[in-house]
Amino acid sequence: MEGSVLDDFEEFFARNYLSVRHAVTLAFGSADLADDAAQEAFIRACVRWSRVRSMARPQGWVYVTATNVARDRLRRAGRREYSEGRENVQEAARDVAISAVAHVDVRDALAALAPRQRMAVVLRYLADLTNEEVARAMGCSVGTVKSTLHSALAGLRVDLKETR
Amino acid sequence: MSVETLKAALHDAAADLPTDVEGVYEAVVRVARRRRGRRRVAMAVPALAVMLGLAVAFVGLVGSPDRQVVVAGSTPSSSTVPAPSAQWRPPTQRVGNELVVTLRLLGGGSMQLALPASVDPAAVTTFEVGGSVTVTGQPNLARDVLVERGTIADIYRGHRLLKTYRGVDGQPVFLYRRPESDKIDYLVFQIGDSVVSIWDYPPGDSRGAAMTDQQRELWATHLRGHDTADGFLVLDPLPPLTQVRTTDGPDASLQFGSNGINVLFRACQPDELRGPHDARGFITHVFKDSGTWVCDPQVPLIVDVFGAIAWQRNIAANFELRHLTGPLPLHW
């Protein structure tokens, strides 16, 4: 039995950590923010591992947690930057995303989306979260997720018939 | 563009991102261990003026209930006296230039922790015993066990009582909703001077299925324990409940305010085995704010010393663990 629970978490970490970090990077356009958020999400998962591992989709929980952490940190940073007279942090994050991914067509298109649209697309189609999980990550209703995805996919010129 | 093309493009974009993760797992686990102990303290302190005993254990649950007794609506009697043994601390004695603290684990194993004589035993603020593991074929029913010293009436005052079951000796076992803890329900046992709480998801929770009534009854009729003569709680679950080896959290934790010592019975990881052995045979890693980790590859176990840097240095360099007697988590 030695190490069985730890091994369990280690395997979970190995399977999912990079995916979570990458998804948050693409969703928020900041590798540093993604590092922080992904690590924080996995720390929280490890702290309550007995509970998280019993969930139907532990990886979904970690994605949602990482996204929430990133949103919170961005919001706090936004308030700080606003008080210093700087541009809105959402715009800054978007600029980072554009500069980071501009050399690839789909990233160009992704970066051109509104932040919430980009987050919804990444969580739904890269992280493969359910609409309900995306809703929890974005702090909105499932209906809002669907409408956000619809407009985002339209912006990306994705064949919307395939999404019905 | 099709959805599949979009997905492929997203995966390509992700594949171009950096993949360096060296040291991240170790850092995550290290911070989690520390935070796990603090989370338990944070949960208990609002309920008790002085909180002395907490534990986390996995306890496995298999099979079907052997009886069904549900008594709805019972309420634990209100307590007007302080929580039992609120001032209780692990037994200590001064031997030469050492302070020797007796620690007993949730499964009954014990040890003596020898500390420098400069450590004041009266400064102990918290003693926690860490969890044991049991997963007997139904890992989805494995549960943390939260142990807090005190009475149910004190600890769960103001929380919503959902149901009452009958315990192994006929005593009431309560199902409470404790909203400050992640909207989790708890099946609550009074065992000696401690309150033992088994978490459960509320019905309809998206995180996982709640236990059925029969499963809660099984817990109620098979989880038991006792206080030892020296004041420690030991669990004696009846089959099919089984207590096995520790989780990754501390097996024992002794705190002196913001300083403390965690003992974890687990094999040292490869990165923890790198470095010189001291005269005790230990390998020490100093992480400053994250604590000092001392690996004993012989037992094996880890001692995590956290708090002020001077405290870490003093304890890490001078402590000894003696008279380890079973059942210890490593051998379960």
In this complex, which of B16, B140, B332 lies closest to A54 when CB atoms are compared? B140
For residue A79, what pLDDT is reported?
Answer: 38
Q: pLDDT band at B180, cuts 50/70/90?
A: low
For residue B36, what pLDDT is reported?
Answer: 63
Q: Which residue has the higher pLDDT, B168 or B20?
A: B168
Mean pLDDT check: name the lowest of A53-62, A79-88, B297-306: A79-88
- The torsion angles phi and psi of A87, rounded to 5 degrees, stand at -65, 160
Name the most confidently modeled range: B23-32, B103-112, B163-172, B201-210.
B163-172
Model confidence at B165: pLDDT above 70: yes
Map residue B6 onto helix, strand or coil. helix
Furthest C-alpha separation in chain B: 79
* Cα three-residue angle A29-A127-B36, rounded to 5 degrees: 85
* Mutation choice for A interface testing from B4, B28, B132, B266 by most A CBs within 10 A: B28
Query: Is the pTM for the entire model greater than 0.80?
Result: no
Instruction: Estimate to the nearest angstrom the gap between the alpha carbon of B114 and the chain centroid.
Output: 22
**Separation between Cα atoms, residue B165 and residue B70, nearest integer Å:** 5
Domain with A87 in it: 4-163
The answer to whether B251 and B120 have CB atoms below 8 angstroms apart is: no
Token pair in block for residue B214: 């029969």
**Separation between Cα atoms, residue B255 and residue A108, nearest integer Å:** 53
For residue A98, what pLDDT is reported?
Answer: 42
Q: Which residue has the higher pLDDT, B47 or B297?
A: B297
Model confidence at B81: pLDDT above 60: no
In this complex, which of A2, A49, A122 lies closest to B267 when CB atoms are compared? A2
Count interface pairs A-B at CB distance under 8 A.
126
Q: pLDDT band at B321, cuts 50/70/90?
A: very high
B248, with CB counted inside 10 A (0-12, 13-18, 19+), is: buried
Name the most confidently modeled range: A82-86, B14-18, B142-146, B276-280.
B276-280
Q: A43, B206: Cβ pair inside 8 Å? A: no
Q: How many domains does chain A have?
A: 1
Q: A60: Cβ–Cβ under 8 A, 6 or more apart, which residues?
A: A129, A130, A133
Residue A67, domain CATH: 1.20.140.160
**Separation between Cα atoms, residue A114 and residue A152, nearest integer Å:** 8
pLDDT tens per residue across span B249-270: 678 888 887 788 988 887 777 7
- In chain B, which residue ranges form alpha helices assigned H by DSSP? 3-15, 24-44, 152-155, 213-222, 309-318
Q: B38: Cβ–Cβ under 8 A, 6 or more apart, which residues?
A: none
Q: A51, B58: Cβ pair inside 8 Å? A: no
Whole-angstrom distance between the N-terminal and C-terminal Cα of chain B?
Answer: 57
Q: Does the beta carbon of A164 lie under 8 angstroms from any beta carbon of chain B?
A: no
Region at B186 (left for phi over 0; alpha for psi -120 to 50; beta for the rest): beta
For residue B223, what pLDDT is reported?
Answer: 92
* Mutation choice for A interface testing from B43, B198, B205, B248 by most A CBs within 10 A: B248
Token pair in block for residue B254: 């002794």
Mean pLDDT check: name the lowest of A39-43, A129-133, B130-134: B130-134
Residues of A in contact with B244 (CB under 8 A): 1
Instruction: Report the mean per-residue pLDDT for chain B.
Output: 75
- In A48-158, which residue ranges form alpha helices assigned H by DSSP? 49-52, 58-83, 89-101, 105-112, 115-121, 131-138, 142-155
Q: B245, A51: Cβ pair inside 8 Å? A: no
In this complex, which of A13, A31, A55 lies closest to B207 when CB atoms are compared? A55
Mean pLDDT check: name the lowest of A94-98, A135-139, B22-26, B157-161: A94-98
Q: pLDDT band at B220, cuts 50/70/90?
A: very high
Q: Which residue has the higher pLDDT, B250 or A65?
A: A65
The answer to whether B274 and B152 have CB atoms below 8 angstroms apart is: no
**Separation between Cα atoms, residue B53 and residue B43, nearest integer Å:** 12
Q: Give the residue on B whose Cα is nearest the Cα of A106.
A: B9
Average pLDDT on B79-86 reads 42
Q: Does the beta carbon of A161 lie under 8 angstroms from any beta carbon of chain B?
A: no
Mean pLDDT check: name the lowest of A43-57, A125-139, A149-163, B182-196: A149-163
Average pLDDT on B205-212 reads 75
In this complex, which of A46, A53, A106 lies closest to B29 when CB atoms are compared? A46
For residue B50, what pLDDT is reported?
Answer: 26
Average pLDDT on B72-95 reads 56
pLDDT tens per residue across span A66-125: 988 888 777 665 533 322 222 333 443 444 444 344 345 666 777 778 888 888 898 998
For residue B152, what pLDDT is reported?
Answer: 92
Instruction: Estimate to the nearest angstrom the gap between the alpha carbon of A160 and the chain centroid.
Output: 22
The answer to whether A37 and A66 have CB atoms below 8 angstroms apart is: yes
Q: A43, B19: Cβ pair inside 8 Å? A: no
Residues of B in contact with A3 (CB under 8 A): 266-267
Model confidence at B70: pLDDT above 70: no
The answer to whether B290 and B304 have CB atoms below 8 angstroms apart is: no
Of B133, B143, B124, B155, which Cα lies nearest the Cα of B253? B124
pLDDT tens per residue across span A131-157: 888 888 887 888 888 888 888 888 787
- Within 10 angstroms of residue B169's Cβ, the number of other Cβ atoms is 7
Token pair in block for residue A89: 């942090």
Average pLDDT on A34-41 reads 90
Q: Does the beta carbon of A54 lie under 8 angstroms from any beta carbon of chain B?
A: yes
For residue A87, what pLDDT is reported?
Answer: 33
Map residue B94 onto helix, strand or coil. strand
Average pLDDT on B10-32 reads 83
Q: Judged by CB atoms within 8 Å, which residues 282-311 of B form the interface with A? A: none
Average pLDDT on B143-161 reads 83
Residue ranges of domains in chain B: 30-76+83-331
For residue B65, what pLDDT is reported?
Answer: 22
Q: pLDDT band at A57, cuts 50/70/90?
A: confident
**Separation between Cα atoms, residue B37 and residue B51, nearest integer Å:** 13
Handedness of CA B203, B209, B214, B218 (dihedral sign): negative
Model confidence at B115: pLDDT above 50: yes
pLDDT tens per residue across span B229-248: 999 999 988 888 887 654 55
Model confidence at B31: pLDDT above 90: no
Model confidence at B168: pLDDT above 50: yes
Model confidence at B134: pLDDT above 80: no
The answer to whether B262 and B37 have CB atoms below 8 angstroms apart is: yes
- In A29-86, which residue ranges form alpha helices assigned H by DSSP? 31-47, 49-52, 58-83
Mean pLDDT check: name the lowest of A102-111, A153-162, B14-23, B170-179: A102-111
**Separation between Cα atoms, residue B210 and residue B220, nearest integer Å:** 15
Token pair in block for residue B287: 């992480």
Map residue B162 onto helix, strand or coil. strand
The answer to whether B113 and B121 have CB atoms below 8 angstroms apart is: no
**Separation between Cα atoms, residue B209 and residue B202, nearest integer Å:** 8
**Separation between Cα atoms, residue A62 and residue A68, nearest integer Å:** 10
Of B183, B109, B113, B191, which Cα lies nearest the Cα of B146? B191
Q: Does the beta carbon of A19 lie under 8 angstroms from any beta carbon of chain B?
A: yes
- Helix, strand, coil percentages (3-state) for chain B, rounded to 5, are 25, 35, 45
- Tokens 């046992």 sit on residue: B189
